[in-house]
Amino acid sequence: MAKKAKKGDARTIRSKKELSLSLELLLQEKDFVDISIKEIAERAMVSKNTFYNNFDTKEELLDQLFLRYLDNIKVAEIFDEGRTTMERVNIFNSLCTRFLSEHYAKFHSMVLHDESRSIYWALANKLQIIIRDELRIYGKGLTDAEHNEMESTFFAGGCAHLVYREFAKDPSQCSEEGLRELLNTLWERLLAK
């Protein structure tokens, strides 16, 4: 196995960004399972060794891509202690739906090419992390620890299905406001427990 690059190194940061962008572009053209590491590296104009210096698998790169999306959504005002849980959720949903709407064409194309449902499962996984971790940050648990994982998995799957379905629609049938209302309704149901 190749020696892993240092996290803070400028070349490492640039390589990870280029590889992530490369995967993002390829996902708009074909299914994740049909994309090779060689294609990702070539699109990023780096060697396969550079890929393996930064990631062990293309699944790890997909995870990095979704983490980058989350980083674009999270801002300090969500964690303001003076806000109620629903105020924080509404801010998060507004930021999330704005981000998704601004990048609708990209996500729409990804969903249309996602025959293996790799994007769906990556989305569900990240939504579960948000649900579990954001609720912990907000000081509200789902139930006890045993049911927390099960409920967050179930809810994340439902959210992923609805968001995924929205992106499968014709762009003329979707709206930022509609997606925001959908997410707000789902969070309200969860937090009303």
Domain membership of residue 25 as a residue range: 10-58
114/158 same-domain check: yes
167/84 same-domain check: yes
Query: Taking all residues of the chain, what is their mean pLDDT, rounded to a whole number?
Result: 81
Mean pLDDT, contiguous 10-residue spans, the chain (193 residues): 61 92 96 97 95 95 88 69 74 82 88 93 84 57 59 78 84 78 75 63
C-alpha span between 180 and 145 (Å, rounded): 29
How many CA atoms within 13 Å lie on the side-chain side of 85? 16
20/79 same-domain check: no
Asked, for residue 67, whether it belongs to a domain, the answer is no
C-alpha span between 16 and 153 (Å, rounded): 29
3-state DSSP helix/strand/coil percent for the chain, to nearest 5? 75, 0, 25
How does DSSP classify residue 78? G
39/80 same-domain check: no
Q: Return the number of other C-beta atoms located less than 10 Å from residue 177's C-beta.
A: 10
